[in-house]
Amino acid sequence: MIKINHIEHADCLEYLKKVPDNFVDLVVTDPPYNVSQKNNIKYKNFNVVKNFGDWDFGFDPIPVLKELKRVLKPNGQIYIFCATKQIPLYISVFEKDWFFRNLLVWNKTNPAPRMSKTNFLFANEYIVYAINEKVKPSSATFNFSRQNEMHNIFITSALQGKERLKDENGKTAHPTQKPLSVLKKLIEISSNKGDIVLDCFMGVGSTAVACKELRRNWVGCELDEKYCGIIKERLASK
């Protein structure tokens, strides 16, 4: 059994094994994008981070999706963040075994610069949205607000300033922290107060913070112990 509103320091597959079938109302998760390169780039005085950590190499989503399907209720929903090259895999799995619903775009107003000037900047990240089973869509929680607030695009800056967490040396605490505004919108739309939301790639706990602010329960894990410590501190100050 697993504890609610508690971060577990664990590998996601080990953790998910302990989650009962049909336990979770909603999955909001941000797994590795497999986009890291071995070396960061220094250009004049500017450092461009290309290596997010060992965790961003060789991630295989298939066994994780299988477990997520099992722990999610039949009419439960999933939002999974991904990079451009991962979109075909996620959509093909959701079309075949789940109920694919939409592809959402997070458009960053401040993408990392392209120093080589030989390609476009990567200004978008993506969120693939699906329901677990091919149920009537109206049986899934979907708190639709106004038409003009329900576009499948979120336009906001990548984290900077106060929202970007810093470590004890004043450096960025996590290289791929996601904005609370985007997470809160997904959670508000696809769950109700008291529901259980799962994130098995917690990073510095943005999903947990969004849930706490919205009075949803959350469960999840993170592989890196240092990030687990930051999550605990972050939640304690809320």
Which parts of this chain interact with ligand SAM (CB under 6 A)? 11-12, 30, 32, 55, 174, 176-178, 201, 203-204, 206, 221-224, 227
Q: Toward ligand SAM, which CB reaches closer, 34 or 75? A: 34
In the complex, the smallest distance separating the C-beta of residue 174 from ligand SAM, rounded to whole angstroms, is: 5
Q: Find the distance separating the first CA and the last CA of the chain, reported in whole Å.
A: 26
Q: Which of 105, 90, 190, 194 is nearest to 141 (CA)?
A: 190
Task: Tell me the residue nearest to ligand SAM as measured from the CB.
Answer: 203
Smallest gap from Cβ 74 to ligand SAM, in A, equals 25
User: What is the nearest approach in angstroms of ligand SAM to the Cβ of residue 44?
Assistant: 28
Q: Nearer to ligand SAM by C-beta: 67 or 133?
A: 67
Closest CA to 129 of 46, 187, 192, 63: 187
**182 vs 196, which CB is nearer to ligand SAM?**
182
Q: Nearest-5° angle of CA 48, CA 36, CA 211?
A: 95
Strand-by-strand arrangement of the 217-222 sheet: 6-9, 217-222, 196-199, 24-29, 72-82, 124-131, 99-108, 153-156
Instruction: Give 195 or 222: the residue with its C-beta nearer to ligand SAM.
Output: 222
